[in-house]
């Protein structure tokens, strides 16, 4: 009997929650109900790439709020659960269902490609698997992995330890690198690879950059052998991403087809404001402005209707905002001109900025050769270039390039935030600049780095009256449906307290 692909009914019963947002790439939303035998890797890859990039870019508002990037505008009342840090099994439950939805497609792509010996698709599947399961572990700790998609034999999948999943993901990336080295790329593959156009060298660079990310996550975990894992990157010889990995399936100003970031935070397809809730957080806004860092003008937009000359206006996370306070139109949105350029722009998945900061941190830890200070400067300059920063020279009136503006910023030895030589902890110094360089670009990394490194060290906690003694959560709760449909296995994880139950790499 042929198996039909319905909207993952049994999958949602297992893994909870609300499901992914509808989009025109989702193979599980085909009204013609395609049979599994008719689905090929070529059909799955573009959807999986788009969905992965969209989720990474638009699903982490909560992390942006917790880590001082964004805050609630004066147009809205408090989000009590988020601002009190007192999260429940309902909070962000789409993270669980959404990632497993994508990973189910990726798993099917890998199975199909293995049967037909299509090494290119096997390699891409392993890379996407490493990203999706990393996000799941980073949010939940132990999750179903080895039995996750074995519906026939394990309809109620057991949970694997987060550290074991990370170990397996590194092995998967080793295999992906070899597959790409051996892959024969056809014109059809070049067409459906909406990120690299079938360029296996770029895929190998992404493999190494993702390896590096997984390694640095665990760098301070006792017993983890980072050096041996780094040796594999050196042996591969492909290097790291120097350009941004971004997807472009043909975004258009059509319902459901705009660039995901633009559509979520700038303007909808009718031209109306897409987001009146998220606004600049005063913490990061102040950090940037007081250190003469013009990037705030690229992360955030000028207020549409400024009040009292406050062209860039932000809020404090969790504060009680009086009715007389400035509203959304009087404050700075989070889709500034460096992030939201057009509705049809490619969607970043892994930026060159983050790649260079990972390399700088690895250099500071002695895991890569080179001078850490030079690597840090290179990463900061890349941030200015990526955002398209320019500035008019006060003397000549000519526009200064992004590199010129960045170098002037870096030359401020009198500013503690920028003085590398004065920093006592070079790793934390570099990670702090990574924090300042990924505002709105990768909000999730800010939450990860806060937990694993303790940066920013002066990050203010929520001002919510309902916060009590709570701090920024160390993880999310498993979703309610998991307790309903996979109760025996989730019960083995014991009592989960987001305030104290840390993921395995959070050892600080």
CATH code at position 162: 1.25.40.390
**CA 55 to CA 272: how far, in whole Å?**
22
pLDDT at position 35 is 61
pTM of structure: 0.93
**Size of the chain, expressed as the number of residues it contains:** 508
Does 213 map to a domain? yes
Average pLDDT over residues 295-319: 97
Does residue 230 fall inside a structural domain? yes
Does the pLDDT at position 55 exceed 70?
yes
The predicted pLDDT at position 395 comes to: 86
Specify if 297 maps to a domain: no
Q: 7-19, pLDDT tens digit by residue?
A: 333 333 333 333 3
> What's the CA angle centered on 82, arms 76 and 88, to 5 degrees?
135
Query: What average pLDDT does the structure give for the chain?
Result: 93
**Does residue 77 lie within any of the structural domains?**
no
pLDDT of 201 higher than 90: yes
Query: DSSP string covering 163-222, please?
Result: HHHHHHHHHHHHHHHHHHHHPPPPHHHHHH-TTTTT-HHHHHHHHHHHHHHHHHHTTTST
Residue 22 has pLDDT above 70, yes or no: no
Cα 172 versus chain centre, distance: 20
- Structural domain total, the chain: 1
Give the count of beta carbons closer than 10 Å to the beta carbon of residue 173: 25
Q: What is the pLDDT of residues 242-286, one digit of tens each?
A: 999 999 999 999 999 999 999 999 999 999 999 999 999 999 999
* Residue 203 domain flag: yes
The pairing of strands 278-280 and 391-392 is unpaired
Residue 26 pLDDT level (bands cut at 50, 70, 90): low
Asked if the structure places residue 15 within a domain, the reply is yes
Whether 397 has a pLDDT exceeding 90, the answer reads no
Nearest Cα residue to 46 out of 246, 198, 193: 193
C-alpha torsion angle, residues 45, 51, 56, 57 (rounded to 10)? 120
Structural domain including 237 reads 9-60+88-241+474-491
Bridge partners of 449? none
Asked whether residue 115 is assigned to any structural domain, the reply reads yes
pLDDT of residue 163: 98
Domain assignment present for residue 303? The answer is no
């Amino acid at each position: 009997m042929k198996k039909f692909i319905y909207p993952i009914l049994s999958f949602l019963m297992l893994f909870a929650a609300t499901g992914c947002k509808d989009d025109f790439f989702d193979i599980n939303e085909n009204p013609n109900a395609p049979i599994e035998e008719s689905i090929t890797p070529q059909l799955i890859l573009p959807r999986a790439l788009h969905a992965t990039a969209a989720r990474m870019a638009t699903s982490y508002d909560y992390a942006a709020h917790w880590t001082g990037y964004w805050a609630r505008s004066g147009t809205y009342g408090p989000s009590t659960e988020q601002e009190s840090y007192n999260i429940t099994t309902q909070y962000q439950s789409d993270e669980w269902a959404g990632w497993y939805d994508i990973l189910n497609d990726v798993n099917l792509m890998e199975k199909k490609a293995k049967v037909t010996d299509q090494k290119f698709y096997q390699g891409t599947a392993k890379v996407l698997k490493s990203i999706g399961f990393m996000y799941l572990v980073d949010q939940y700790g132990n999750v179903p992995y080895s039995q996750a998609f074995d519906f026939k034999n394990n309809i109620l999948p057991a949970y694997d330890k987060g550290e074991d999943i990370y170990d397996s993901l590194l092995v998967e990336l080793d295999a992906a690198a070899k597959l790409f080295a051996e892959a024969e790329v056809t014109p059809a593959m070049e067409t459906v690879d909406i990120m690299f156009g079938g360029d296996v060298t770029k895929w190998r660079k992404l493999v190494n950059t993702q390896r590096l990310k997984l390694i640095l996550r665990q760098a301070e975990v006792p017993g983890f052998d980072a050096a041996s894992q780094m040796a594999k990157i050196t042996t591969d010889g492909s290097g790291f991403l120097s350009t941004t990995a971004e997807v472009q399936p043909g975004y258009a100003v059509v319902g459901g087809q705009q660039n995901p970031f633009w559509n979520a935070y700038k303007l909808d397809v009718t031209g109306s404001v897409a987001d009146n809730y998220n606004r600049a957080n005063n913490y990061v806004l102040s950090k940037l402005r007081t250190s003469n860092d013009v990037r705030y003008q690229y992360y955030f937009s000028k207020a549409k209707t400024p009040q009292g000359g406050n062209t860039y206006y932000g809020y404090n996370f969790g504060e009680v905002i009086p009715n007389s306070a400035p509203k959304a139109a009087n404050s700075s949105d989070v889709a500034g001109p460096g992030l939201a350029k057009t509705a049809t722009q490619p969607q970043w998945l892994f930026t060159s900025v983050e790649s260079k900061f990972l390399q700088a941190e690895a250099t500071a830890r002695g895991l890569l050769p080179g001078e850490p200070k030079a690597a840090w400067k290179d990463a900061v300059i890349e941030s200015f270039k990526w955002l398209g920063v320019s500035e008019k020279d006060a003397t000549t009136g000519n526009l200064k390039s992004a590199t010129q503006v960045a170098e002037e910023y870096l030359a401020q030895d009198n500013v503690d935030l920028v003085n590398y030589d004065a920093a006592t902890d070079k790793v934390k110094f570099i990670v702090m600049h990574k924090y300042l360089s990924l505002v709105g670009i990768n909000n999730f990394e800010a939450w990860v780095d806060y937990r694993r490194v303790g940066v920013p060290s002066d990050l203010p906690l929520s001002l919510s009256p309902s916060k009590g003694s709570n701090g920024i959560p160390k993880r999310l709760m498993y979703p309610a449906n998991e307790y309903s449909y996979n109760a025996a296995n989730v019960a083995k994880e014991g009592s989960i307290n987001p305030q104290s139950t840390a993921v395995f790499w959070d050892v600080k």
